């Protein structure tokens, strides 16, 4: 077990009764959990609301947390996953594409002529991503936003490294087909016009 | 993924696009600080503020009753003094 893992285990053990220990865990994980929820909901307001609920729930139950050899973050991601699933069920709607203007500017370098094209690309791709099953969306978020390895993703999602590799392969193929179908549809429309 | 070039996307293009698009976002620092204060300072207990309010109301009630009792005693004492003085004046008159 690494030094970091031991340190985290000790913090988790103390977090039930020690506010500072829980505060340290919060500092370590809040951005990751926020990012996960943001990409699942598509807007900052709900991401903030659900992130708050994740940590409130974690605080209430951290004293009952059992170390099963997986990172503490896996437990937090599971809470976040359940709350996001409830959020979608309650609203019976799909997540929104993040349309924050600042994000587009940051991603395109702020060139106005590129932004129109890139915005379309982002919208097409994110629309295809949000049509994927939940586990595949989670995989893409952990892979691209959190830059995790297959082994780390496996620990979070409770699967083997091989299973994650296989799921990633199938996810990319499905996404490629979906994007191709959307683009082919759009090209067909522009040909007829 | 340019539509003028091709209708399909290669795996490599797709991975490159996902790498560019799915970037970490920064939560509002004010939100992060306030949430930490709620969780750590107040221990995030949903019942905390309710118990705090009940305690506050209880203390306020006790203080009010005690203050009213004291005021009543002071008024009664003053009335007693006034009565005593007026009785002495009547007896002297």
> In angstroms, rounded to a whole number, what is the distance separating the alpha carbons of residues A132 and B13?
19
The closest CB to that of B7, out of A39, A56, A180, belongs to A180
Q: Is the pTM of this model over 0.95?
A: no
Helix axes A72-91, A150-157, angle to 10 degrees: 60
Confidence of residue A191 (pLDDT cuts 50, 70, 90): low
pLDDT digits (tens, 9 = 90+) for A127-171: 889 889 989 999 999 999 999 999 999 988 999 999 999 999 999
* Residues carrying CATH 1.10.1740.10, chain A: 3-91
Contact (CB<8Å) B27/A31 = yes
More confident site: B15 or B52: B15
Confidence of residue A38 (pLDDT cuts 50, 70, 90): very high
Q: B20: burial class by Cβ within 10 Å (0-12, 13-18, 19+)?
A: middle
Question: What pLDDT is recorded for position A75?
Answer: 93
| Three-state DSSP class for residue B6 | coil
Contact (CB<8Å) A23/B40 = yes
pLDDT digits (tens, 9 = 90+) for A83-103: 999 998 888 655 455 545 445
**According to CATH, what is the number of the domain A101-192?**
1.10.10.10
> In angstroms, rounded to a whole number, what is the distance separating the alpha carbons of residues A188 and A193?
9
Confidence of residue A187 (pLDDT cuts 50, 70, 90): low
Alpha helices in chain B (DSSP H): 11-21, 29-36, 48-92
* Residues carrying CATH 1.10.10.10, chain A: 101-192
* B89–chain A Cβ distance below 8 A for any pair: no
Question: Which B residues in the span 4-33 are in contact with A, Cβ-Cβ below 8 Å?
Answer: 7-11, 14-15, 17-28, 31-32
Distances (CA, A) of A188 to A116, A118, A185, A193, B4: 20, 20, 5, 9, 12
Sort out which chain A residues have CB atoms less than 8 A from B22's CB and list them. 39, 140-141, 144-145
Q: Has residue B6 got a pLDDT over 80?
A: no
Identify from A19, A136, A188, A191 which residue to disrupt to test chain B contact, counting B C-beta atoms within 10 A and taking the largest count: A19
Contact (CB<8Å) B40/A176 = no
pLDDT digits (tens, 9 = 90+) for A1-25: 677 778 888 889 888 888 889 999 9
Share of chain A above pLDDT 70, in %: 81
Identify whether the C-beta of residue B35 lies closer than 8 Å to the C-beta of residue A30.
yes
Identify whether the C-beta of residue A25 lies closer than 8 Å to the C-beta of residue A11.
yes
Q: Largest Cα–Cα distance of chain B, in whole Å?
A: 121
Distances (CA, A) of A108 to A42, A77, B14, B84: 19, 30, 17, 93
Q: Has residue B7 got a pLDDT over 80?
A: no
Q: Has residue B4 got a pLDDT over 50?
A: no
CATH of A3-91, one of 1.10.1740.10, 1.10.240.10, 3.30.300.30, 1.10.1040.10: 1.10.1740.10
């Amino acid at each position: 077990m690494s030094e970091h893992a031991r340190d985290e285990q000790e913090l988790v053990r103390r977090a039930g009764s020690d506010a500072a220990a829980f505060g340290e865990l919060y500092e370590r994980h809040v951005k990751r959990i926020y990012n996960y929820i943001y990409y699942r909901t598509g807007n900052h307001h709900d991401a903030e609301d659900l992130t708050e609920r994740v940590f409130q729930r974690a605080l209430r139950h951290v004293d009952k947390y059992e170390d099963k050899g997986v990172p503490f973050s896996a437990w937090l991601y599971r809470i976040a996953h359940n709350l996001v699933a409830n959020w979608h069920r309650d609203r019976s709607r799909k997540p929104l594409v993040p349309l924050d203007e600042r994000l587009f500017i940051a991603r395109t370098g702020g060139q106005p002529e590129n932004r129109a094209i890139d915005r379309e690309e982002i919208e097409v791709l994110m629309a295809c991503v949000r049509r994927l099953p939940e586990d595949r969306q989670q995989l893409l978020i952990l892979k691209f936003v959190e830059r995790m390895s297959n082994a780390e993703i496996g620990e979070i999602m409770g699967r083997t490294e091989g299973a994650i590799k296989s799921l990633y392969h199938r996810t990319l193929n499905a996404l490629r087909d979906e994007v191709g179908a959307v683009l082919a549809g759009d090209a067909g429309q522009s040909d007829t016009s | 993924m340019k539509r003028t070039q091709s209708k399909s996307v290669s795996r490599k293009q797709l991975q490159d696009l996902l790498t560019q698009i799915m970037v970490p976002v920064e939560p509002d620092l004010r939100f992060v600080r306030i949430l930490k204060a709620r969780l750590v300072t107040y221990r995030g207990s949903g019942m905390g503020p309710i118990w705090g309010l009940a305690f506050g109301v209880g203390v306020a009630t006790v203080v009010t009753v005690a203050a009213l009792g004291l005021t009543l005693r002071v008024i009664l004492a003053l009335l007693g003094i006034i009565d005593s003085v007026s009785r002495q004046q009547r007896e002297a008159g």
